[in-house]
Amino acid sequence: MTANPLLTDWNEPFDAPPFHLFETALFKPAIIESIRSATSEIKAIAENTAAPDFENTIAALDRAGRKLDDVTSVLFNLNNAETSREMQAVAQEVSPLLTRFSNDITMNEALFRKVKTLYDSRNSLDLTTEELMLLEKNFRNFMLGGAGLDPEKKEKYREISEELSTLTVKFEENILDDTNAFELHITDEGDLSGLPDGIMGMASLEARERKKEGWVFTLHFPSYMPFMKYSARRDLREKMYRAYASRAFHNDSHDNRELSKRIANLRLELAKITGFRNYAELVLGDRMAETTARVESFLEELHLASSPAAHRDFGAVKEFAEKCGHTGRIERWDWAYYSEKLQKAKYDIDDEALKPYFVLGNAEKAIFELAGKLYGLSFMRNNDIPVYNHEVSTWEVRDADGAFLSILYIDYFPRPGKIGGAWMTSFREQRIENGNDIRPLISIVANFTRPTETSPSLLTFNELTTFLHEFGHALHGMLSRCTYESISGTSVARDFVELPSQFMENYAYEKEWLSEWARHYITGEPISDEMISRIKESSTFNEGYACNRQLGFGFLDMAWHTLTSPLQEDIIEFETAAMQKTELFPQVEGTGISVSFGHIFGGGYAAGYYGYKWAEVLDADAFMHFRESGIFNRETALSFRKNILEKGGTDKPMNLYKGFRGKEPAIDAFLERSGLK
């Protein structure tokens, strides 16, 4: 019988996964076997007769289940980036098995006694800061995982957590299915009024790939957003908007309304079983914000600062639309269209003017060189490393002294098997094992604008900032220098993890960086100083509106996760009330936000969406420090690397930040950068 390649040693360069050997049918048996093996490792730790110490208990737990980690990282990463019906079914089937295994660990009485003994005596164990952080994380995980509950509550905890693991996977699948199910097929060229040539070329290519005449627009962002910005056909903009905003909202098998409610209510029940009033309290204990009161105060403070600017922005767009001949109220499908036109009128700049300068290949090279300038890194293409799709590129990342740091996978373009958005992930985290520094395998996945028959991939400005954002996460993973996998790389507090990513976005507005590489793809002409100035000037355009909208999502997230009794009411009524103070548009019947809010119902941002804004305060303050010394200053950059990028979760986030900045962050830089001060 042939050995399952998921379970054997991987003999590819840098021990990378041999994707070409992984058949979907192999994942479930590999996970079952890996769970069996990991269970034996856990049993040995729990039954060790030696007195518990950090090495034989906490460090041993961190090492347990390595093969299981490898197999599950491949499965769930592929389920997001290269999925199929068969793979989705496997993910659904194994999710409760994995949750059951996790519960078996945290509810193991003998193991918990060892962990609690160490935790109770932690101040006399002479632990390093990193070891203390790992011990505290383990103790918290046991407590939140049901340790110490009576048998009846333990059984209920198991039931709830296993069901949640299945429901959250299903939630994302429903969004992807509805995203893929819709197309706007245009055969009359007159219906393309207002759309730039590049957008039409992309839609023509999409139609040919679907073996259709004319043009096809989809709900994937590189197709959807340009259509909403440029199409002069208001009726078609409305059709596209309604399709996008009603994903998973169609009274069919993909409808997420009851699923949203079920997930939130189960999370509440889980929180109450473990002694909390609501799910947010459970989650926030290891975040920088720490309490629901502090999060709500933070959101209210920013809302107070941004609300006048949001109403000003809304009024300006409405007035401009009326000057353009628009009558009646501004609807949601009008916003992007008239905002784009107003921005063009005010700053003589828009995505179509900028895109020719932002060739994806050039941006990639420039971002790599920026990492070289800041941190001494170099990137070398390596085509010998297997990939899961032919579009994925692989890079060796090396330090200034030539030492190997990481493999970086990059997957740029939308496909039917890929969920929307952009994200950084990993196939292996960094750790020290038997004295060896095991370097990570990091991946950036995006849905950027594809090349057409007549042009390379040309990025919108938003796609450029997205690339920088995800690359910042990647740096956090690639530069990690920690001992224990559980707290290495991006394994940090959720409201701290966005600091490295949002910090990188700042460079998109800097003349010193843009002028180095941004060239027109036809003429070779460098981007002009005037155009860069207009980018900078326009950076606060509609920022009040944007901040207000983001805060609305934060308020909605907290509303779902500060429930103290199960939600019974209609979720649209619920979300309307939660977001009312930030809402500037009337509700569009047949649409909803919660049903496609993958960050909080499918991803890891439940009670944590505020973290994007929280981290903006940090990144604005951090970049101000760079401005003071020079945005490419190597000394400042190496301090950022040493104190933040390399440290993972080896210390409290505020301690790490103060190690870099010398003081706690202030909100002033954020307010000034956003034009809200």
Name which of 478, 417, 440 is nearest 85 in CA terms: 417
Name which of 539, 495, 538 is nearest 299 in CA terms: 495
Boundary residue ending a domain (206, 224, 245): 245
Name which of 510, 460, 242, 495 is nearest 360 in CA terms: 460
Statement to judge: residues 116 and 64 lie in one domain: yes
User: What is the tally of structural domains in the chain?
Assistant: 3
Statement to judge: residues 202 and 98 lie in one domain: no
Task: Please say if the pLDDT value at position 433 is more than 90.
Answer: yes
Task: Please say if the pLDDT value at position 560 is more than 70.
Answer: yes
For the chain, give the percent of residues with pLDDT over 70.
100
Q: Is 130 a catalytic residue?
A: no
Tokens 């994995």, residue located: 98
Statement to judge: residues 91 and 228 lie in one domain: no
> d(Cα 91, Cα 82) in Å, to the nearest integer?
13
The reply to whether 320 falls in a domain is: no
Tens-digit pLDDT profile for residues 137-192:
999 999 999 998 999 999 999 999 999 999 999 999 999 999 999 999 999 999 99
Instruction: State the chain's mean pLDDT as an integer.
Output: 96
Active-site annotation holder among 131, 162, 470, 485: 470
Rounded to 10 deg, the angle between the 66-81 and 85-106 helix axes is 140
Statement to judge: residues 383 and 472 lie in one domain: yes
Across the beta sheet with 441-445, the strand order is 378-381, 393-398, 404-411, 441-445, 423-428
* Residue 584: CB atoms within 10 Å: 19
Statement to judge: residues 431 and 366 lie in one domain: yes
Question: Residue 128's pLDDT is what?
Answer: 97
The reply to whether 264 falls in a domain is: no
Boundary residue ending a domain (201, 229, 245): 245
Instruction: Using pLDDT thresholds of 50, 70 and 90, give the confidence band for residue 68.
Output: very high
The reply to whether 87 falls in a domain is: yes
The reply to whether 566 falls in a domain is: no
Residue 157's Cβ-side half-sphere holds a number of Cα atoms within 13 Å equal to 25
Statement to judge: residues 26 and 81 lie in one domain: yes
Q: Once rounded to an integer, what is the mean pLDDT over residues 233-262?
A: 97
CA torsion sign for 642, 644, 649, 652 is positive
Statement to judge: residues 382 and 498 lie in one domain: yes
| Tokens found for residue 132 | 């203390």
Q: Is 669 helix (H, G, I), strand (E, B) or coil?
A: helix
> d(Cα 439, Cα 12) in Å, to the nearest integer?
14
| Tokens found for residue 203 | 């839609």
> d(Cα 447, Cα 457) in Å, to the nearest integer?
11
Statement to judge: residues 474 and 421 lie in one domain: yes
Tens-digit pLDDT profile for residues 16-53:
999 999 999 999 999 999 999 999 999 999 999 999 99
Q: Is 440 helix (H, G, I), strand (E, B) or coil?
A: coil
412 sits in the region (left: phi over 0; alpha: psi -120 to 50; else beta) called alpha
The reply to whether 59 falls in a domain is: yes
Statement to judge: residues 188 and 70 lie in one domain: no
Question: Residue 286's pLDDT is what?
Answer: 87
Name which of 514, 509, 539, 512 is nearest 526 in CA terms: 514
Name which of 579, 584, 573, 545 is nearest 559 in CA terms: 579
Tens-digit pLDDT profile for residues 623-641:
999 999 999 999 999 999 9
404 phi/psi in degrees, rounded to 5: -70, 135
The reply to whether 294 falls in a domain is: no
Task: Please say if the pLDDT value at position 591 is more than 80.
Answer: yes
Question: Residue 453's pLDDT is what?
Answer: 86
CATH number of the domain where residue 116 is located: 1.20.1050.40
Name which of 554, 571, 595 is nearest 171 in CA terms: 595
Task: Please say if the pLDDT value at position 1 is more than 70.
Answer: no
* Residue 301: CB atoms within 10 Å: 12
Q: Which domain holds residue 89?
A: 13-106+108-144
Tens-digit pLDDT profile for residues 83-108:
999 999 999 999 999 999 999 999 99
**Model confidence, pTM:** 0.93
Distant-in-sequence, close-in-space partners of 139: CB < 8 Å, separation ≥ 6: 115, 116, 119
DSSP string, 67-124: HHHHHHHHHHHHHHHS--HHHHHHHHHHHHHHHHHHHHHHT-HHHHHHHHHHHHTGGG
Statement to judge: residues 534 and 660 lie in one domain: yes
Instruction: Using pLDDT thresholds of 50, 70 and 90, give the confidence band for residue 594.
Output: very high
The reply to whether 667 falls in a domain is: yes
> d(Cα 332, Cα 334) in Å, to the nearest integer?
5
Statement to judge: residues 140 and 191 lie in one domain: no
Statement to judge: residues 23 and 123 lie in one domain: yes
The reply to whether 513 falls in a domain is: yes
Residue 673's Cβ-side half-sphere holds a number of Cα atoms within 13 Å equal to 22
Task: Please say if the pLDDT value at position 677 is more than 90.
Answer: no
Boundary residue ending a domain (221, 245, 269): 245
| Tokens found for residue 137 | 């994380």
Query: For residue 543, which amino acid is it?
Result: E
Q: Give the helix/strand (H/E) hosting 267.
A: helix 257-273
